[in-house]
Amino acid sequence: MKKLNKPDVEVFTDGSVRDSVFFLGGGILVIENEEIHSLSIAAGRYGSSYRAESMALKKALSWLQEREKEDTINLYMDSQSLVRRLEEGPTLTEISLKNKMWTLIHQICSRNAIKLHIQ
């Protein structure tokens, strides 16, 4: 793994599906200096791990946007399909959830340095 500089904030997101497609949720872990923040989100019923991962990322982006701080942020997630979808850019993303994510990303990037690392 490539060595990354220590950021002001590290954000880890993950989505999960239980009982096949019935219960979805997402978890977010934020490390800010010495503080640890833990967030979670229910992503509804009858979906996919992709939806759970998307909801976790949106929750993390919303939390970062509300902070209104100028920081270097590293964001880590393990959803290759979500990363590929985001790489298509906002204009090719038709789904409402992804459009909301792009709006949040734009707002956060306008005041922060963000690196996205997928592992």
Sorted by where each starts, the structural domains of the chain and their CATH numbers stand as 9-118 (3.30.420.10)
> Residue 113 has what pLDDT?
67
> What six digits make up the tokens of 92?
């090719």
75 C-beta neighbours (distance < 10 Å), count: 22
Rg (CA), the chain: 14
Q: Where are the beta strands (DSSP E) in the chain?
A: 9-18, 23-32, 35-45, 72-77, 113-118
What's the one-letter identity of residue 24? L
**Residue pointed to by tokens 């906002």:** 90
Q: Are strands 23-32 and 9-18 parallel, antiparallel or unpaired?
A: antiparallel
Contact predicate 101/61, CB 8 Å: yes
pLDDT (tens digit per residue) in 23-68 = 788 999 999 988 999 998 887 776 788 888 888 998 999 998 888 7
- Using 50, 70 and 90 to split pLDDT, how confident is the model at 114? low
pLDDT (tens digit per residue) in 71-102 = 888 888 888 888 887 777 766 555 666 778 87
> Residue 108 has what pLDDT?
82
> What six digits make up the tokens of 105?
């990303």
> Residue 50 has what pLDDT?
84
Helix (H) or strand (E) holding 43: strand 35-45
Predicted TM-score of the model (pTM): 0.77
- Using 50, 70 and 90 to split pLDDT, how confident is the model at 118? very low
